[in-house]
Structure 1
Amino acid sequence: MACRITELVLDCREPERLARFWCEVLGFVVLGREDDDIEIGPPEGSGGLQPTLLLSRSEDPKNGKLRLHFDLNATDRDQDAELERLLAAGARPADIGQTGQESWYVLADPEGNEFCLLRTRVS
């Protein structure tokens, strides 16, 4: 039997702020809190196909581009409409050296963690 990714841990300075942002972006809800850490995930809870996200308080500064990032696909609108929604939620454009010819957008969450918005819509 193989392993499965069940949760992703993102160190951050303000777990509450990032929980609000990522819950809005992903349609997640707060699943639990322990000390300053917040776990968010799909409304049906943990254990499903989608991993949860644990936002773990850390005072360590973010140095450079993340070595692992999220790729997102819109589920109910086209890429441009989803880009507008993400920007309104607090995302901002990020420059990691892209050429401008990419079919995706590189964005950053409120703490500067990069993620990409891909073109394809998924169900």
Structure 2
Amino acid sequence: MACRISELVLDAADPGLLAAFWSEVLGYVELGREDDGSIEIGPPGTGFGGPQPTLVIGPTTDPRPAKLRLHIDVSATDRDQEAELARLLALGARHADVGQTGTESWYVLADPEGNEFCLLRRRIEPV
């Protein structure tokens, strides 16, 4: 028997802002809020334990470390990479430089709080 990723936890200065951003990026909905200010988002109709992991975005006042040691990769499901890039930028993502050469097949972006993520070239089927 093996494990699978059920949740990803992200610290945020403004959990509401990041929950709204990542919900739009991933097509997720808010699943719940905790007393500590954490917000869990996940696939509509499925939630925790489904085929995709949920995101738990928790409040923190700690400064963000330099480059994250773990980041999220996303792939478009219904459009090409350029169209998805335009959509993500319109949602509040911005280009990020982590030392890439410019010849990569992916785009390095940052969410509204500066957390890096990559938009991959290949489209994938929606779950």
Instruction: Give the TM-score normalised by the residue count of structure 2.
Output: 0.95
Deviation of 1:120 after TM superposition, in Å, equals: 0.1
Deviation of 1:2 after TM superposition, in Å, equals: 1.2
Q: 1:21 is matched with which residue?
A: 21
- Show structure 1 runs of 4+ deviating over 2 A: none
Aligned to 1:30, the other structure's residue is in SS state strand
What CA deviation, in whole Å up to 9, does each residue of 1:13-61 have, x standing for no partner?
A: 0000000000000000000100200000000222111000000101111
Q: 2:62 is matched with which residue?
A: 60
- Cα-Cα RMSD: 0.6
What CA deviation, in whole Å up to 9, does each residue of 1:38-87 have, x standing for no partner?
A: 00000022211100000010111111111000000000000000000000
Matched pairs, number: 123
Instruction: Give the TM-score normalised by the residue count of structure 1.
Output: 0.98
User: Which one of the candidate residues 97, 107, 110 is aligned to 2:109?
Assistant: 107
User: Which one of the candidate residues 85, 97, 100 is aligned to 2:99?
Assistant: 97
Provide structure 2 residue ranges, at least 5 long, that are not aligned to the other structure: none
Provide structure 1 residue ranges, at least 5 long, that are not aligned to the other structure: none
